[in-house]
Structure 1
């Protein structure tokens, strides 16, 4: 991989489309194992420059807008909660405008590099209310003047919090710097909740699962010790919840493609060691298992508890350094969806909160103003992870704290022929054109198509991808007749933001798209898989024809998926049909599989 040049897969762009589709997946998955996405390294430097601006800009804003804090006395900043508060607001502002997560080429935004505010300040773009049938004044699927005004109000509130001085408060006696005004924090909380009821995309893009409850507790508590404890519990539950989410098969499959895509790892020997027997067996090796569950799961389960309960400063600082190194590593891999600012903020927060307000100096759980005050704090931070792991259909994987777990709701979209996909450009109000068109403008259609399908090959390297491709085999007459797209990247051009949660492009979104694009039956087919509940060994799926709605539901065993290769040389994995639309029959007769036929149970 060069600094300015991409590393192309070993295929001839002119004849690439003549290859059988699953053979393309084999070639692209094998190439990913050694080269990752294969983009030029200058692509990663864009994120490095952005992170430098994020860090220096945040420090500058805090120092320039907060009376009592001086650049000449940075040591005097230590122990001032307002520094944490303002940098949190700075991070939220980055997120809610679309300049943090889901930005740039690693989120398949090439020109422009962002969606975010370009969508959310524009009337007529898609809007996804979570409970429009039961919450008054939230019906509809398009953005109105009220929605754009609400978004601007959120930005104005964040700007006020960021640029305004600290307010004197009895919650922090003896401080000349003060804290952010509690009424302004609660104003933001109220506005983002209203926005979330109108459009869950903006609510999630603001990373509300990370920051909203912290801002709420800073807004209502009258004791700064309680505020700090809320921040500590927030950090610990995020880390611990992420560790719990890594139980099972899924996370082991995340590590090899993630490490293969890391720009500073250039050793092909190491990358090949991540797989059982490169290039014939691309299932995770024991090396990947160790990296996933010892360097990942164990760290996230053990170290946060040390931080929360340790009263020994040496042990506490060792744990802080451990979590900082953990986040440095994640940041250095440049994961798709690129939540880099979030990782940097958590490095800062680990040191600032646990080092600046140590448990042994009056900031332990036992120092809360009342033991009862801990109950709503833990409830706020544990309710959604618990519910999301038991009923993932009800909760986004972000509040469920499964950000890196590999256990995600996922989808693939299939457009029949070349013209069907273009309907998204022709009939939807949106800012970003389809990714294949963004890439085609720079590299030509043939090369663009290869990289679009490489994203699908990346998905097949994860457990859900094999289930999704198996469903495509069963429900499309021929894979080669369709342009098959990774749902995450299709979604980001529809709503302006995406973090890997297929709940943002489920049948609600597909219905809104169909209302505008009017696909014919079979012209746009989406296969969709829900996250695996923690208490089950199966994954639920549904097949959605944009013109017909949901045409089939069922489930498959996770074990069947992880046993197969990304390119499914043995054919589609077995699945059980629990419901099928009367009169509908899958079109994929070209892929018979006796094991599937034996397990189909239709209750139409």
Structure 2
């Protein structure tokens, strides 16, 4: 890849766009093996600059300048392990997440021009919002952002700023009334719009803020240990099954480091010809990934020895730094840096042998209550993924994702620009990225967007979704096919791999505004695999008609195929079809008994 230019297949863009859908996936997925996303080096430099200057240096500067008893940055070795320092670094992270300057920022997350969503979208009345339970929670119905939503969002930002700059309690910690206000505003904003709640990474930071509010410093630190250990173990547990082995090879391929092409290809079973994971890919995923996330946290939690604790903490720091170097799509870089620091702060700075073990809570009831509260949504989400976002389910980057692909008839995608928001459609964004300095040509813009489709096909759910497309849409080769996560980013300002944010509710909001005719926009959607089943459920959704088909596919069939489906679509088990479906929208198979 070049410093300013992308690394894309050496194909004529117009000729390439005329190829059949599956042939495009074949070319682009093979190219991904050796080149990843192909983003210019400048893009990665922007992320590193943001991480070092805005997040790390900016956060430490805020802590140093606003906290009594904390010295200058030159004296950081004297104050890094003070509890108030951790409180403020966590709140600094939440502030950047809420604004849209942390995770899901920039080109690797589908934000090309502008490079952030978040506040640019959530400060605008009239934009799309997605309440989690609009028919059940009073005062939350509707999908249009109102002035009250903007006021609540501004209040949330203001409370986070106040927590960083205001004088603390008598014990020097962040004021508990301000922390309580942040917790309440996260919940209230989330009931009005789950995008803001999830965008703040509330599934992890909200429990931490609650612990800071209700516990004294000693109990707070122990509860925070339980929080991070359950996050690690939840993520490790989610990697059981057939999905995760397929995640690491594309991650390694996307690393902007001078690995040889041989080493990148070695993570796949047959180089660029067989894109199933090799033994090395399995080892990197389940030994260096799953095993680390399950075993090392337990060592940290129960270690009786300082040397063992130090080695285990170092292992977790290396683990999170490795993730940062892969620049995973959605780019949760700040989150990984904070968690690496957390491993050192909590377990090295406040080790169990110094009175901070899980058996040292001031009252016996705290341990079971905290564990049950932290484990509730991960357990429920793994058995009923349709009820819980993959974020509270703690399935971060496990490969077992709810996902969707949007298929537009020619000329229909451009109509998305009619929806009020901060960004235009992605073909136009790419051409003006970086004030034009990083802009792509129209043909290269289209090829890059189709590369995200190939990336999805390199994972298990992509093979099922694309089987649906070629089975149900005879004109798929002429349609514009888009990755739903990127569509969601442009329409709502945020996505982090959460398929629930681009399910029927978003499609209904789009249809209300654009009134597509039957067949003009068809979406294929799949839910995450429940931990106790061997299938994934899918839906075919016509924007004008709603859900027109439901069914399942076996995960084993999906993981054994190639992204371009050379053996044809995987078997689909249809369980229901809409009795009045339009024959021009899709051609579902007969309903099975």
Range into which the TM-score falls when normalised by the shorter chain: over 0.9
Contact between 1:576 and 1:601, CA under 8 Å: does it hold in 2?
no
- 2:493 pairs with 1:496: yes
Contact between 1:474 and 1:586, CA under 8 Å: does it hold in 2?
no
Partner of 1:175: none
Partner of 2:448: 451
By how many angstroms is 1:588 displaced? 9.4
- Residues 454-506 of structure 1: CA deviation (Å, up to 9, x unaligned): 11001000000000000111221221121000011011001000101110011
Q: Which moved more, 1:343-352 or 1:580-589?
A: 580-589
By how many angstroms is 1:78 displaced? 4.1
SS in 1 for 2:522: strand
Residues 87-486 of structure 1: pairs in structure 2 closer than 5 A: 87-169=89-171, 178-221=172-215, 223-417=216-410, 419-426=411-418, 428-441=419-432, 442-486=439-483
SS in 1 for 2:359: helix
Moved over 4 A (4+): 585-590
- 2:511 pairs with 1:514: yes
State the alpha-carbon separation in 2 of the partners of residues 229 and 535 from structure 1.
32
By how many angstroms is 1:42 displaced? 1.1
Partner of 1:593: none
Against the structure 1 CA distance between its residues 589 and 166, is the aligned structure 2 distance closer, same or farther, given a 3 Å change threshold? closer
Q: Give the CA RMSD over aligned residues.
A: 1.4
State the alpha-carbon separation in 1 of the partners of residues 75 and 323 from structure 2.
32
By how many angstroms is 1:113 displaced? 0.6
TM-score (norm 1): 0.95
Against the structure 1 CA distance between its residues 576 and 329, is the aligned structure 2 distance closer, same or farther, given a 3 Å change threshold? same
Contact between 2:518 and 2:582, CA under 8 Å: does it hold in 1?
no
State the alpha-carbon separation in 2 of the partners of residues 78 and 515 from structure 1.
52
Contact between 2:545 and 2:581, CA under 8 Å: does it hold in 1?
no
Contact between 1:157 and 1:184, CA under 8 Å: does it hold in 2?
yes
Partner of 1:45: 45
State the alpha-carbon separation in 1 of the partners of residues 102 and 582 from structure 2.
43
State the alpha-carbon separation in 2 of the partners of residues 481 and 565 from structure 1.
22
State the alpha-carbon separation in 2 of the partners of residues 379 and 147 from structure 1.
32
User: Aligned match of 2:555 in 549, 555, 558?
Assistant: 558
By how many angstroms is 1:440 displaced? 3.4
Partner of 1:602: 592
Against the structure 1 CA distance between its residues 588 and 568, is the aligned structure 2 distance closer, same or farther, given a 3 Å change threshold? farther
SS in 1 for 2:412: helix
By how many angstroms is 1:109 displaced? 1.1
- Specify every segment of 5 or more residues in structure 1 that has no aligned partner in the other structure, as ranges: 170-177, 591-595
By how many angstroms is 1:357 displaced? 0.8
Contact between 2:519 and 2:584, CA under 8 Å: does it hold in 1?
no
| Number of residue-to-residue matches in the alignment | 585
By how many angstroms is 1:60 displaced? 0.6
Against the structure 1 CA distance between its residues 203 and 589, is the aligned structure 2 distance closer, same or farther, given a 3 Å change threshold? closer
Partner of 2:14: 14
State the alpha-carbon separation in 1 of the partners of residues 40 and 585 from structure 2.
38
By how many angstroms is 1:21 displaced? 1.3
State the alpha-carbon separation in 2 of the partners of residues 342 and 159 from structure 1.
19
SS in 2 for 1:341: helix
- 2:528 pairs with 1:531: yes
Partner of 1:578: 575
Contact between 1:477 and 1:587, CA under 8 Å: does it hold in 2?
no
User: Aligned match of 2:542 in 530, 534, 545?
Assistant: 545
Against the structure 1 CA distance between its residues 586 and 347, is the aligned structure 2 distance closer, same or farther, given a 3 Å change threshold? farther
